[in-house]
């Protein structure tokens, strides 16, 4: 389903290079539910961004569903994201001022469905997720937990084969965490491949949810200054 070979990401920040993700080889099979676990700054979000085609690797290769996509131009990546990937962002990235229904239906626009068809699909999904009592609410009037579930619904509307979720329980209470876990359990039962990051023991220990954990370690920043020493870098 997803294979990476020596995939890594470096960012240039002023006069030094930040290694966001050290080379990683991994093979995630279809239907697996993977937890990315590790300290803050160890590259978990970067890894999700790489496998969902939001950022390009500095080196190494990525295959998704048999397609090598690490070097594809942006318009191919956006097609793959549109057709195959549901991305649940940590910061939600909902469109403020638009209704819950419009937000969830939005990813269907490029698929050529008309407004009535888009709304029908979004309404069905939101009913399944027990959020149909808030359909006309502007998303910015929803509670944090409702916004998190709205972000999940938007990620699921295109029936993706891969779902990535960045810290899906970090901004919500225990009850919402349980609702989110319930959604993930159902997605897993449907055979979806799920890759998520979390620091939350409630997710790590959720009954039968996580098939495998990928452990991340923080890379030391590599000093690239012409003068100075390693000690300078962290001042
Ligand atoms: N666009 C960027 N430019 C420069 N450095 C970046 C950029 N994105 C990430 N980094 C750096 O890469 C490292 C890994 O970041 P990342 O967000 O992947 O960590 P993380 O494991 O998700 O951390 P957290 O648990 O806090 O969410 C961090 O040191 C971060 O500062
Ligand atoms: Mg992160």
Q: What is the pLDDT of residues 128-166, one digit of tens each?
A: 998 999 999 999 999 999 999 999 999 999 999 999 999
Q: Which atom of ligand 1 is nearest to the CA of 18?
A: 5
Q: Where are the beta strands (DSSP E) in the chain?
A: 2-13, 16-28, 33-37, 59-64, 67-68, 85-88, 162-166, 193-197, 212-215
CA distance readout (Å), 202 to 174, 219, 226: 9, 27, 46
In sequence order, the β-bridge partners of residue 87 are 164
Query: Residues 180, 92: contact at Cβ < 8 Å?
Result: no
Q: Which atom of ligand 1 is nearest to the CA of 39?
A: 25
Q: Which atom of ligand 1 is nearest to the CA of 199?
A: 25
The structure's pTM equals 0.89
Task: Report DSSP state, residue 26.
Answer: E
Q: Rounded CA gap, 115 and 151, in Å?
A: 20
Q: Identify residues whose C-beta is under 5 A from ligand 2, the ion.
A: 44-45
User: From ligand 1's centre to the CA of 21, what distance in Å?
Assistant: 8
Provide the pLDDT for residue 229. Answer: 35
Q: Rounded CA gap, 30 and 195, in Å?
A: 11
Which of these, 219, 171, 226, lies nearest to 11 by C-alpha position? 219
Percent of the chain with pLDDT over 90: 74
Domains for the chain: give ranges and CATH numbers. Answer: 2-96+161-233 (3.40.50.300)
Other beta carbons within 10 angstroms of residue 51's beta carbon come to 28
Minimal-distance CA residue to ligand 1 atom 17: 45
């Amino acid at each position: 389903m997803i294979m990476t070979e020596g995939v890594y990401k470096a960012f240039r920040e002023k006069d030094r290079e930040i290694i966001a993700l050290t080379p990683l080889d991994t093979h995630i099979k279809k239907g697996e539910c993977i937890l990315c676990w590790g300290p803050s700054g160890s590259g978990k979000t970067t890894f999700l961004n790489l496998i969902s085609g939001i950022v390009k690797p500095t080196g190494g290769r990525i295959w998704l569903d048999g397609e090598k996509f690490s070097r594809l131009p942006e318009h191919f990546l956006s097609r793959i994201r549109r057709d195959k990937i549901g991305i649940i962002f940590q910061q939600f990235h909902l469109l403020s001022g638009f209704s819950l229904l419009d937000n969830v239906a939005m990813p269907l626009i490029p698929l050529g469905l008309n407004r009535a068809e888009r709304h029908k699909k979004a309404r069905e999904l939101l009913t399944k997720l027990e959020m149909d009592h808030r359909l006309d609410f502007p998303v910015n009037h929803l509670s944090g937990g409702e916004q998190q579930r709205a972000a999940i619904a938007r990620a699921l509307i295109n029936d993706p084969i891969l779902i990535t979720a960045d810290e899906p329980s970090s901004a919500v209470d225990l009850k919402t965490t349980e609702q989110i876990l319930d959604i993930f359990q159902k997605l897993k039962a449907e055979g979806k491949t799920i890759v998520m990051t979390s620091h939350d023991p409630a997710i790590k220990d959720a009954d039968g949810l996580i098939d495998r954990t990928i452990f991340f370690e923080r890379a030391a920043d590599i000093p690239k200054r012409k003068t100075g020493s390693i000690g300078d870098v962290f001042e």
